[in-house]
Structure 1
């Protein structure tokens, strides 16, 4: 079961109404157009993720909730306008890198990274980069040999590593670390080919994931 234009249309209309009563009256549409395709996607990408790391959790619990957490937000809107799935090892009190997929009105994205890497994890990543560790070199080769994914993570306002080789600086000067593909290919989003594209992309990022995982395991 694939996503469709109705998936995004429901999220948009639900957000416009911003009403628990309206949502409850139309909950079957949410199940049909959003939740069920999400669950099907999770099942279809599971074999790819198991190939990368058997410890990655890949269950319906990986799907985002439709209700927003408004406790610490000025925006008190009740509902999300996008949906996502995140796949990582069980946290057990720690932060692990995750594979993810997210879709909304403006398109979709997928990739791998930390949601919010700790200071210690970023220090370990930088140490591996500066030491030219095999894990980092494999990750960089994986990134350099493709054109689908780009590094993400807020950059420092000034260069903290001016003496580092130029090819390392884009990695070293980030507050967080991940790799992402941003797409507006709605025909792909609404097609049965989406799970395979995501799965093959995740596999392509395996060396990058292992680089991040090394830092998570050492922290």
Structure 2
């Protein structure tokens, strides 16, 4: 008999709602055991199961305990000094690229939102240029990926964008709208109650499977450049 699919519980959402109302160190210290049991524990179980399934779902990506984001916020440069994140999140990056220098898969759960998606969030200028060049050189394949009905149902490619086509590409290039992007993201917002359902893990894996070709496309020029510099 296969093990039960991992998921969150109503206690997870209850804790996240309470943390939103009581985002201070005294409250969190008094309720840290609940965080470990109902938030961090279930997320680590999901990540552990993904590590088993990634060889067929997303073979280039890594799922490990390090995929889990810390609950503690970095408040050094933020006017918002609340110390804790009110969601639980995990990201899955490429096995040969630094965590924040590759396209990857991601999901988070807050008390009012479940979000599943992926892409490349903050590429450095050289990486962004390589992705744009890869799109130009493989535009038909890229369009087939991002303009398919299945991809658009998950949200379609989005991200902050420039007002003009970046330097080095014709302003009237047929891929102009894609070249203006400074991020290449896709994601779907879902009812947070799904995360407590026995259907959750299957829904997560189906979306990750659908997004993996897009992630692989974005990573192809980045991996090639990384291997060239080794």
- Shorter-normalised TM-score: what interval? 0.7 to 0.9
1:78 Cα deviation from its structure 2 partner:
0.7
Give the Cα–Cα distance (whole angstroms) in 1 for the partners of residues 178 and 53 of structure 2.
26
Q: CA shift at 1:44, angstroms?
A: 2.6
CA-CA distance at 1:164 after TM superposition:
1.9
Matched, 1:9 2:18: no
Q: Name the count of aligned residue pairs.
A: 213
5, 21, 24: which is aligned to 1:19? 24
Aligned to 2:45: 40
Asked whether the 8 Å contact 2:164–2:171 carries over to 1, the reply is no
Equivalent residue number for residue 85 of structure 1: 90
TM-score, reference length from structure 2: 0.82
Which consecutive aligned stretches of 4+ in structure 1 deviate over 6 angstroms post-superposition? none
Q: How does 1:151-170 map to 2 (within 5 A)?
A: 151-158=157-164, 162-165=171-174, 168-170=175-177
Displacement, 1:154?
0.2
Q: Secondary structure at the match of 2:118?
A: strand
Pairwise CA RMSD = 2.3
**Structure 1 position 181 matched with structure 2 position 188:** yes
Secondary structure of residue in 1 paired with 2:157: strand
User: Contact (CA 8 Å) 1:110, 1:181: kept in 2 or not?
Assistant: yes
Runs (5+) with no aligned partner, structure 1: none
Superposition TM-score, scaled by structure 1 size: 0.86
Q: Which residue of 2 aligns with 1:109?
A: 115
- Per the TM alignment, residue 84 of structure 1 is displaced from its structure 2 partner at its CA by 0.5
Deviations 1:136-175 (A, max 9, x none): 533432332212232121011345564122xx23321101
Would the alpha carbon gap of residues 118 and 141 (structure 1) be closer, same or farther in structure 2, given more than 3 Å must change? same
CA contact (8 A) 2:48 2:63 kept: yes
1:55 CA drift (Å) = 4.5
Q: List per-residue Cα deviations over 1:82-117 (Å, max 9, x = no partner).
A: 111101135448711111001213311111211211
Post-superposition CA distance 1:47-67 (Å, at most 9, x none):
442225545221122111111
Structure 1 Cα separation of the partners of residues 32 and 211 of structure 2:
36
Deviates more, 1:78-87 or 1:15-24: 15-24
